[in-house]
Amino acid sequence: MKLSIGLGFYLVFELFCHTTMSAQDQNLIKRSLIAENNKHRAIQFGIMLPSSYDNNNTYPVLYYLHGLNGFYADWKAQNVAEFFTTHSLNSELPECILVFPDGGEGFWCDHYDQDPLLEKEIVEFLIPFVDENYSVDTTKRLIMGWSVGGFGAMNLFSQHPELFKAAISLDGPMTSWEEFIALQGVRPRIVNNSDYFYENASPNRSIVRNSNAIKEKQDTTIFLAAAFLVKYHQNLLSILEGQEIPYKYIELSCPHEFGCVFSEISDDLVFFLSKALK
């Protein structure tokens, strides 16, 4: 399924852009593939292992979800890889495994027309594959995303709190149902213009449904950074307050631009991750 680029307000900012990367940067993220079978299509993803990776040790793992029209090794993903490399070398963060799923032009949820089934692919196939083939500490599995990837990170975290210790959203569109259906061109294909199907892809709904499981984690497990999309966070913040779920929230004056947002929240993100990855 192909989503239109001109979907209104925030989506225009997600046009993919290329930047020149050094040979070192290009080598940070390695391409991997789970072969197609009778249960799923071929699942492409990127992975970065710690420099001192040893099968005899276990490592925290973080899944990073790109924005609309990105891909698993775009320049934003490379910046995330560099961020973790730098801060682990400085001993500010523990070494961890980074996984970069490739969502194409999907919304990181199972689309109504089943093209694609991104949530199913990640939960039922990608995570088990990574757990089986790499030395993962499954008690320290985090998920993070930019823009639509931030929506996806919150969706997967709130739908499956048993799988993830914490979630990080960077200017994700946390829209209410009313805001979501205003995105002409998106709604028919993703949720068939149905409140019921939206519920299956909405962190606003699943947080309420799974609030007890999320609160059992005790520590602050949600990190939200809002910039251009700040007004689309207000409903989610009200829900978190109403459910008494602790969270970290930062408002920024940035446009919907990854470099600005990631730079502005860098110190706060290191602090949050240093606790979540313990």
The domains of the chain, with CATH numbers, are 9-13+60-276 (3.40.50.1820)
Is the predicted pLDDT of residue 184 greater than 70, yes or no?
no
Cα separation of 180 and 187, whole Å?
7
Is residue 49 very low, low, confident or very high in pLDDT (cuts 50, 70, 90)? very high
A 10 A CB-CB count for 88 gives 17
- pLDDT computed for residue 21 by the predictor: 34
Cα separation of 175 and 165, whole Å?
23
A 10 A CB-CB count for 54 gives 10
Report pLDDT digits (tens) over 230-267.
999 999 999 999 999 999 999 999 999 999 999 999 99
